[in-house]
Amino acid sequence: MADSKRSAKVVLDGKEFDLPVMSPTAGPDVLDIRKLYGQADVFTYDPGFTSTASCESTITFIDGDKGELLYRGYPIDQLAEKSNYLEVCYLLLYGELPTAEQLSKFTTTVTRHTMVHEQMHNFFRGFRRDAHPMATMVGVVGAMSAFYHDSTDINDPWQREVASFRLIAKLPTIAAMAYKYSIGQPFVYPRNDLSYAENFLHMCFSVPAEAYKVEPALAKAMDRIFTLHADHEQNASTSTVRLAGSSGANPFACIAAGIACLWGPAHGGANQACLEMLNEIGTVDRIPEMIARAKDKNDPFRLMGFGHRVYKNFDPRAKVMKESADEVLGLLGVQDNPILQVAKELEKIALEDPYFVERKLYPNVDFYSGIILEAMGFPTSMFTPIFAMSRTVGWIAQWKEMISDPQLKIGRPRQLYVGAPRRDYTDVAAR
C-alpha cells in the first residue's frame, strides 16, 4: 500500500478539505479522493480517465515521457531480446523471473492445457464462415464458462489458478481454430512437442495433407510479438476486465469482455486498421494526402498506429517491432515490400510535421506489427486476435491482482447529470 504523509487542500465554499497525497514507486503522485464525496458532497469529473488512477498495481509501469515500459520492473526491450513469452507470463503472473525448474513446470502445465473440449468444435460450426475471428473469439471464450464450469468460482484460489492456465493455454488454440474455420480448413490439434509460438504457427498454417515445419526464426519473431503485447497498465481492455471482474463475474466472462473492448479500432483493432490504411495509401506519393486528412478536423480519418494516451515519446514496443519487421521481411525475402517502405516514409514525414510533433504523436505498437503479421501469412482479420491472445496473460494477471485485493469493491463510477430535472408524467392527450 503506497503511504501518504503529505496532503493537498481543496477549498470549496470557504470550507477546507484535506486530500492525502500517495507516492508511488514510479510515476506521478496521486491525490486520494476516496473520502471527498463523503466529506464535501462533490464528485470529481474525468471523462476517459485521462487523470485518474483506477487502482494500485505492481504489475506494469509506463513512463510516457521517457517511452519506457516495465513488466514487474524489467524493461520491455530487455525482455523482448533475452526472454520468451512463457517466461514473461510467469513474471507477470507471479512477480519474479522463474528459476529453470519453475519455468519448466509452468511450461509443462500450460502445454498440457492447450487442447479444448472436443464439443467446442461444434460451437464454432454455429458461426458463418465469414465471421470476423474476433467475433468468434468473443463468443467462444465467453462460452468457456459453460465448458469449464469447474474453474469459475473466483473465491477458490485453486480454481482461479486453473482458469488462468486454461485461458493462457487455450487462447492460441481458439484463435487458430477461428482462423481455420474462416478459411474452410480443418482444425489442427496442438502438439505438446512444440513451443508456444511454434504451436500457434503449426495450428494456423499446417494442413493434414502434408508435413509442416515451423521456421525457428519466424517462431522467435512470433514469440517476440506475444511478449510485446502481453500487458500495458490500465488500458481500455484491461480496465474492462477489471470492471467485469469487480462484479464477481467468472474469469472466462471477464476475458471475453476484454476481447470485445480490444476489438475497437482506437485500441487493439488499430493493427488491422493500420495495415488497411497503409494498403489504401499504397505508394509513397499518396502520403501527403493522407497526412492532410489526418490533420483535418472535419475529417474523422486518423493515422492508425499513431498516437497514444500515455506515450508522448516513441512507444518502446514500436521500436522493437520496427527492427523485427526488417528482420522478418529480410528472412522471407520481401524486404523491399512497398508497404514497409510506405510505413517508414509515413513515419518519417509525420515525425517532421508540426501537427504531430506538437501533439507528441509517435508510432505505437500497432504501426509495424501488421506488416510483420501479413508477411508471415496472416490475413488482417487475424491481427487483433493475435493481440488478444498475447494480452490474455496481462488481463489475467491484473484480474488476479484485483480479486486478491482486500480493498476490492465493485466498480461503480458516478456522473455529472445534465439531463431533465424531475418532472411529472403527462397524458398523451396533453402533449
Which H or E run contains 418?
Answer: none
Q: Which residue is nearest to ligand SDX (CB)?
A: 307
3-state secondary structure of 354: helix
Query: How many amino acids of this chain bind ligand SDX (CB under 6 A)?
Result: 21
Choose one: 74-82, 105-113, 144-152, 265-273; the region binding ligand SDX (CB under 6 A): 265-273
CB of 422 to ligand SDX, least distance (A): 35
Query: x/- string (CB under 6 A) for ligand SDX, residues 278-307?
Result: ----------------x-------xxxxxx
CB of 299 to ligand SDX, least distance (A): 10
Write the CA distances from 225 to 171, 247, 391, 421, integer angstroms. Answer: 15, 32, 11, 52
CB of 303 to ligand SDX, least distance (A): 4
3-state secondary structure of 289: helix
CB of 361 to ligand SDX, least distance (A): 5
Is 267 annotated in the active site?
Answer: no
Per CB under 6 A, the list member of 216, 289, 359, 405 interacting with ligand SDX is 359
Indicate which residue of 132, 366, 405, 427 is catalytic.
366
Please state whether 317 falls in left (phi above 0), alpha (psi between -120 and 50) or beta.
Answer: alpha
Nearest partner of 305 among 286, 318, 324, 316, judged by Cα: 318
Q: Considering only residues 193-252, where is the footprint of ligand SDX by CB under 6 A?
A: 232, 235
Indicate which residue of 202, 232, 267, 308 is catalytic.
308
Choose one: 11-19, 77-85, 88-96, 262-270; the region binding ligand SDX (CB under 6 A): 262-270
347 touches ligand SDX (CB under 6 A): no
CB of 81 to ligand SDX, least distance (A): 19
3-state secondary structure of 29: coil
Cite the DSSP H helix spans in 33-84.
Answer: 36-40, 76-82
For residues 44 and 67, the answer to whether their CB atoms sit within 8 Å is no
Nearer to ligand SDX, 143 or 256 (CB): 256
Cite the DSSP H helix spans in 126-230.
Answer: 133-147, 157-182, 196-205, 216-228
Q: Considering only residues 88-107, where is the footprint of ligand SDX by CB under 6 A?
A: none
Is 156 annotated in the active site?
Answer: no
CB of 373 to ligand SDX, least distance (A): 15
Q: Alpha-carbon distance 221 to 324, whole Å? A: 7
3-state secondary structure of 9: strand
Per CB under 6 A, the list member of 8, 42, 146, 266 interacting with ligand SDX is 266
- Neighbouring residues of 362: CB distance < 8 A, sequence distance ≥ 6: 67, 306, 307, 308, 311, 312, 313, 314, 315, 318, 351, 356
CB of 249 to ligand SDX, least distance (A): 21
For residues 75 and 68, the answer to whether their CB atoms sit within 8 Å is yes
Q: How many residues make up the chain in this entry?
A: 431
For residues 393 and 231, the answer to whether their CB atoms sit within 8 Å is yes
Nearer to ligand SDX, 266 or 357 (CB): 266
Nearest partner of 384 among 307, 300, 276, judged by Cα: 276
Per CB under 6 A, the list member of 138, 325, 361, 393 interacting with ligand SDX is 361
Per CB under 6 A, the list member of 143, 260, 270, 340 interacting with ligand SDX is 270
Query: x/- string (CB under 6 A) for ligand SDX, residues 36-75?
Result: ----------------------------------------
* Torsion angle (degrees, nearest 10) of CA 220, 221, 223, 224: 120
Residues of this chain that interact with ligand SDX (CB under 6 A) are 232, 235, 266-268, 270, 294, 302-310, 359, 361, 364-366
* Catalytic center residues: 308, 366
